[in-house]
C-alpha cells in the first residue's frame, strides 16, 4: 500500500510540470510564468540569461567594464567546430554596480537552432558584440555552460505550450 502512495505521488508531481520545473516558475495566482536559463561559472565580467518572449528566444549578455563601450547593433557568435550565427540586436540596458563598474546588458533575439548549436558545441563559444569603442567587445565562454540548454528548451516548450501553439 505504501508503494502505491509513493507511485501516485511521483505520477502527480511528474504530471504537474511546474511543480518539478527547474527553469520555469509560475506565480502563486497563476498570472505570471517565466522560464529563464542562466549560465553558471561564466567569466567574472559576464553574465548570460536566455528566456522566451512572445517575439521568440532572447539572450541577454551583461558585460561589466570600467567604462561604457556603447554595445548596440547586431552581433555574432562563433562556435568552435560549428557555424557562425548572427544575433539580432533589440536593446541595451546600462547601469552602475555597487563596486563602481559599468554594466551594459544588450538583449538579442536568437534562433532556437543557435541554442541547440550552443548545447552541442565543444570548446569555446565567442560572442563578438558590436560596440562604438572598441568596435567589438569579445566575450569568450566555455561551451559547456550551455550543456543543459536542451532540457531548458524542452521544459520551456512544455510550460509555455500555449504560447508556442499561437505562433
112-127 pLDDT per residue, tens: 999 999 998 888 899 9
C-alpha cell at 53: 518572449
Please determine, for residue 19, whether its predicted confidence score (pLDDT) is greater than 90: no
Q: Give DSSP secondary structure letters for 24-91.
A: EEE-TTSS-EEEEEE-SS--TTEEEEEEEETTEEEEEEEEEESS---B-S-EEEEETTS-EEEEEEEE
Q: What percentage of the chain exceeds 90 in pLDDT? A: 41
Query: How many whole angstroms separate alpha carbon 19 and alpha carbon 14?
Result: 8
Please determine, for residue 11, whether its predicted confidence score (pLDDT) is greater than 70: no
Please determine, for residue 105, whether its predicted confidence score (pLDDT) is greater than 90: yes
Cell numbers 550551455: residue? 146
pLDDT value of residue 130:
93
Give the tens place of pLDDT for each residue, 74-87. Answer: 999 999 877 889 99
CB atoms within 10 A of CB 101: 14
pLDDT value of residue 2:
54
Ranges 4-13, 65-74, 78-87, 137-146: which has the least confidence: 4-13
pLDDT value of residue 61:
94
Please determine, for residue 71, whether its predicted confidence score (pLDDT) is greater than 80: yes
Contact predicate 8/15, CB 8 Å: no
For domain 24-166, the question of CATH label 2.40.350 is answered with no
Computed over every residue of the chain, the mean pLDDT equals 82
Model confidence at 16, pLDDT cuts 50, 70, 90, reads very low
pLDDT value of residue 9:
43
Amino acid at each position: 500500500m505504501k508503494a502505491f502512495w509513493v507511485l501516485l505521488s511521483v505520477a502527480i508531481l511528474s504530471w504537474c510540470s511546474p511543480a518539478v520545473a527547474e527553469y520555469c516558475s509560475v506565480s502563486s495566482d497563476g498570472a505570471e510564468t517565466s522560464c529563464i536559463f542562466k549560465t553558471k561559472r561564466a567569466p567574472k565580467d559576464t553574465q548570460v540569461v536566455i528566456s522566451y518572449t512572445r517575439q521568440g528566444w532572447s539572450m541577454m549578455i551583461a558585460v561589466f567594464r570600467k567604462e561604457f563601450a556603447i554595445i548596440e547593433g547586431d552581433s555574432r557568435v562563433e562556435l568552435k567546430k560549428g557555424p557562425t550565427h548572427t544575433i539580432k540586436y533589440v536593446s541595451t540596458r546600462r547601469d552602475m554596480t555597487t563596486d563602481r563598474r559599468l554594466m551594459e546588458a544588450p538583449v538579442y533575439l536568437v534562433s532556437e537552432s543557435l541554442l541547440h548549436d550552443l548545447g552541442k558545441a565543444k570548446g569555446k563559444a565567442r560572442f563578438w558584440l558590436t560596440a562604438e569603442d572598441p568596435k567589438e567587445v569579445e566575450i569568450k565562454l566555455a561551451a559547456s555552460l550551455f550543456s543543459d540548454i536542451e532540457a531548458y528548451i524542452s521544459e520551456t516548450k512544455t510550460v509555455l505550450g500555449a504560447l508556442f501553439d499561437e505562433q
